[in-house]
Structure 1
Amino acid sequence: MRPDGRSGAPSTIDTNASDPLEELDSDLLDFAEWYQNNLGALVWFAMLLGARRHEALDLTHDALVAAYPHWATIARPRAYVRASITRAYRHRRNIADKEFPVDQVPDHVARPDNALDDIEFDDQQQRVLNMIRQLPWRQRQIMAWTLDGYAPGEIAKMLGLRGGTVRVNLLKARNALKNLLVEGGPHA
């Protein structure tokens, strides 16, 4: 039975029917365009936090899936999705840290990622990633946001930290990276 209550095939084809692709919600189109334009940067951001390549892809995917239903109401999607990735990565690290009891709680340094060999980075990107992965969590987190173009005040707001905390950790991170460069750093 047809929606109009009659049975059988319609007697005429509605030539005024619009193309289904034209009817796609503009929010979906905005989301799809934003996704295409930002996916690589989001994966890179997750890797700067310390995620391995496969984990960075998962974190990015999960953050985007969670953001989509609210896409029309997200005022700053760039910051929103990165904050979501940051929270999810930290949550995963907390779970992973709980799985291996130790006498002393070490400052979490990102593990080396052999899967990085499959991605083509230029030499500078590879060196930056290797050096940032050696930083303590908070410094690595703030440096990732900084390299993504955020100012300390914005980072403080997004992460719920005091501005001074962000600036001090950024200074420590920069000093540590400078020392790594002077020492020849990883894979110099």
Structure 2
Amino acid sequence: MPAARQRVVQEFSEFFRGFAGRLATWLEYLDVPRAGAKKITQETMTKPYRRWAEIESPEAWTRVVASRAWAARLATVDAIPVEDVEEHAPHHAGGCEMAAPEARLDVCEAIRKLPARQRQVLAWSFEGYTPTEMAEHLRKTPDAVRASLYKGRQKLEDLLRPQDSDQ
């Protein structure tokens, strides 16, 4: 195997091992069901390998590809109303790590109550992206991203605030 090809295989393998689980968790924050998140992750992770030499920011590029795959899936699937079988928290440690599983479950439940755009920018922010970086990858203005991020954080704070039982 040529040295350049060997380098690509090694770099991509390290990327895959370190990022695939985080991508699946990130998709779950976007309200993708666990099975769908795993499938989209598997499908998506083959794409950066093919274009490895062209991609400047593999994590962001892969997140964009995965979120577009989820949007495409939503656009082509007829919703069948069914009852949720299981409430769950993402099982992979990602950028939004919480010390207690109960706290992670609370955050995940609260995030599911937010509008899609707010969930999206919060998921990106949990991974350390700035509003300017998010705007670039999501093809939005930085002001629009900041507004969604602000509203999402405010709503999330309200949802996670302990309720007084005296009232």
TM-score range, shorter chain: 0.7 to 0.9
Conserved in 2, the CA contact under 8 Å of 1:153 and 1:163? yes
Gaps of 5+ in 2: 93-99
Aligned residue in 2 for 1:135? 114
AA aligned opposite 1:127: D
- What is the TM-score of this pair, normalised by structure 1? 0.73
Separation in 2 of the partners of 1:131 and 1:68?
35
Alpha-carbon distance, 1:115 to partner: 6.9
Alpha-carbon distance, 1:94 to partner: 2.3
Aligned residue in 1 for 2:71? 90
Are positions 1:38 and 2:25 aligned together?
Answer: no
Report the 3-state secondary structure (helix = DSSP H, G, I; strand = E; otherwise coil) of the residue aligned with 1:116: coil
Gaps of 5+ in 1: 1-19, 102-110
One of 107, 116, 133 as aligned partner of 2:88: 116
Aligned residue in 2 for 1:7? none
Alpha-carbon distance, 1:170 to partner: 0.6
One of 77, 84, 91 as aligned partner of 2:58: 77
Separation in 2 of the partners of 1:116 and 1:93?
21
Separation in 1 of the partners of 2:89 and 2:67?
24
- What is the TM-score of this pair, normalised by structure 2? 0.81
Separation in 2 of the partners of 1:80 and 1:24?
21
Report the 3-state secondary structure (helix = DSSP H, G, I; strand = E; otherwise coil) of the residue aligned with 2:88: helix
Rg larger for: 1
Specify which structure has the higher proportion of helix.
2
Separation in 2 of the partners of 1:118 and 1:49?
11
Q: Name whichever of 116-125 and 162-171 sits farther off.
A: 116-125
Question: Alignment length, in residue pairs?
Answer: 153
